[in-house]
Structure 1
Amino acid sequence: MFTNLIPWRWLGALTLVMLLAWGLYHNGYTRGQAQAARDGELALSELRNRHEQALLAQAEEDNEALTAWQQRYQQQVVSAAEAEKRYLATLSDLRRTHQQLQRKIDDVTHRWQDERGQSHAIECVFTAGFVQQYNAAFGLSSLTADAGNAAAAARRAGGASGAGAAVDPRLRDSGVAQRDLLAHATEVGAAYQRLAAQVNGLLDYIAGLER
């Protein structure tokens, strides 16, 4: 009699509804989980692809930069080699010119010819004052110190001869000949041209590095 009071029909219906709800929930959960897994794998794959593409782009950029640096370095090496070649060629020309000038010194300092072609011995006097100023102009000595030394020497010589008061030490014969001055000018000119070649070579080298 008690069993007759239980609403079996309603319980069955409720159970069926619950089973259907659970089935729907389980199916939706399973499908949602699978979809989420697929979406996660797709997102991870896209992230990996973007990362690989970024690495590839960076590698290409680094390779291009390295290639450009290698080309620039090679150009600098070539420029430096060309600058050194020009510098050595200039030095060789300067040495050859210097030797030629040295050989010609005696040819133009021993004798001279007049308008009739007559040859005469060169009589040229360079005073002590001339030599002092010449040396001072090249920074070889102090003009004031040389003048003082020459004056002291003249006073000593004048005291010994008794005629020192009339002697100007700057106008005395220095004993320097044309050949001496030309030889010195040849050496100074060669040194100047070597220095100029070094400076120009350095400028060419720097210009090559800046290209």
Structure 2
Amino acid sequence: MNINTIISDALESSMPYEQYRALVESHVHNDSNTGAEVTEALAEYTKLNHQRMRRHNKKMELTQESLKFLTGFDKQIKLLCITESWCGDAAQTMPMINKVAVAGGMDFRIVLRDENLELMDQFLTNGNRSIAKLIFVDSTTNSPLATWGPRPTVATRLVAAEKEAKGSLSPEFKQELQNWYNKDKGKSTEADLVKIMQAL
């Protein structure tokens, strides 16, 4: 199956951001999580992520410069995000992705990774099924134009440096990364996405 067909099939089964938020909330109430593996730990991450997204939805704001560019953006593009409820990077970035999509007049759609492995395997990061993965899709042909993820460029550098220094990511570093996200307030994600859109 070619990539455009895989993307088309994924888009058909995708959900808008508000539906995804409702899905995550339903898992919170049921002490569960999305994905093939359901565990107490992943259910706890889902609860944390629900709170993060709720907070970021209210507090994150686009810069005036980004708003000016996005409101004038006229290319026919959809944003397709691959994620799961337990993914911390996704919870920290999806609220800003949604704000960029709304301001740019783009349809923002979401699919779950473990239900869309054929799609996921087209967009691996260093051979891994890392999420969140955002695909910029041509609305007419459903061909991929660009990708972003699993985290902002600045955070990617922090993670790479930690792995190089210590070989893996400790729980302490993962907490430091979440603290970085909280201070960043979505600005790095916003800058990355606008830069990609300017190049399209």
TM-score by length of 2: 0.22
Structure exhibiting the larger radius of gyration computed from Cα positions: 1
> Quick check: which one's strand share is greater?
2
TM-score, length-scaled by structure 1: 0.21
Structure having the higher helix fraction is 1
